[in-house]
Amino acid sequence: MAKIGLNNFRYFELTESDDGGAIYGAAKKPGKAVSCSVDIEASDAKLYADDAVAESDSGFASGTVTMTLDEDDITTQAALLGHTVEDGLMIRSTSDSAPYLGLGRIVTKMVSGVTKYVVEFLNKVQFSEPSQENETRGEDLEFGTPEFSGDIMTLDNGNWSWAKTFSTKQEALNYLISVGSHYTITYDKNTGTGNPPAAAVVAEGDSINVLPGQGAMIAPSNKTFGGWVTTAAGTTAVTEPYTPTGDVTLYALWETSGT
């Protein structure tokens, strides 16, 4: 198995539930992924008897994650580090406390010649204030990419990470987004034939910027595809960007040819 790519960082505000699990807010994108490093420290325990190791155990003790992004956005910095933004001004205060977050990413892998997409998720992370280093521009142009490091912790139930493999990147992204507060958009062919587009998962408060077209659907006789409507009898197609306010079904709008 070879790792051949990294994309789609998402972070989620974390609230631990009464049963020791986690409740996550809507998925948010911090920026495009450049790199991610996860370092784990294991705890080793050994029981010696008769001058030899009779029992041993090794488990998660602590860890750190370092992610590098393509851009240095103050809104992302404030969200990751607990700062405030007022009228475009990021204010850092000694009283600020970085929030606990869930952190996910999609790792592209090659398995026996087949590309797979693995969602890797850290259940509880707290980022720390990064060091700042700047230098004047010289003869050669160099890109500076922001780097954020955080402590990996366990939930109250002991869980600290999980992973799940998918056949397509879109399936992986839908699943990652669905970890937090989200809405599902289902597409209905509405008297057409063939297959409508696959359902889309949108984080609460986000918009879908590319509504699927006709795709594999076949129009009824003497009809052409006119977009998507919110009721089966609707006549006005929704426009982009489309922001759902709950789980919704969009219906194919079939218009009489020539109109």
pLDDT band at 233 (very low <50, low <70, confident <90, very high): very high
Question: What is the distance between the alpha carbons of residues 137 and 161, in angstroms, rounded to a whole number?
Answer: 41
pLDDT band of 133, cuts 50, 70, 90: low
The whole-number pLDDT of residue 141 equals 54
- Whether 70 and 174 map to the same domain: the answer is yes
Determine the pLDDT at residue 3: 72
pLDDT tens, residue by residue, 28-85 = 999 999 999 999 998 876 677 776 766 766 789 899 999 999 887 899 999 999 999 9
The confidence score (pLDDT) of residue 57 equals: 64
Number of separate domains in the chain? 2
Same domain for 231 and 132 = no
Structural domain boundaries enclosing 81:
2-180
Determine the Cα–Cα distance for residues 233 and 250; give it in Å rounded to an integer.
11
209 conformational bin, left if phi > 0, alpha if psi -120 to 50, beta if neither = alpha
What is the per-residue pLDDT for 131? 72
- Asked whether residue 161 falls in the same domain as residue 209, the answer is no
Q: Are residues 28 and 73 in the same domain?
A: yes
Over range 192-206, report the average pLDDT.
96
pLDDT of 177 strictly over 90: yes
Residue 204 near residue 183, CB atoms below 8 Å: yes
Mean of the per-residue pLDDT values of the chain: 91
Pair (235, 140) in one structural domain:
no
Is 246's pLDDT higher than 60?
yes
Instruction: Please tell me whether residues 168 and 191 are part of one structural domain.
Output: no
* Residues 174 and 163 grouped into a single domain: yes
What local confidence, expressed as pLDDT, does residue 62 receive?
A: 92
155 token code pair: 């939930």
Q: Which of 4-8, 171-175, 217-221 has the lowest mean pLDDT?
A: 4-8
245: CATH: 2.60.40.4270
What are the respective helix, strand and coil percentages of the chain, to the nearest 5?
Answer: 5, 50, 45
Q: Is the pLDDT of residue 137 over 70?
A: no
Higher pLDDT, 54 or 104: 104
- Give the Cα separation of 226 and 83 in Å (integer): 46
pLDDT score for 136:
63
Distances (CA, A) of 139 to 136, 142, 143: 10, 9, 13
Out of 144, 160, 180, a domain closes at 180
218 shares a domain with 114 = no
Sorting pLDDT into bands at 50, 70 and 90, what band is 93? very high
Last-in-domain residue among 162, 180, 198? 180
Domain boundary among 116, 147, 180: 180
Q: Are residues 152 and 168 in the same domain?
A: yes
Do 154 and 78 fall into the same domain? yes
Same domain, 11 and 68: yes
174 and 52 in a common domain: yes
Q: How many Cβ atoms from other residues are within 10 Å of residue 104's Cβ? A: 26
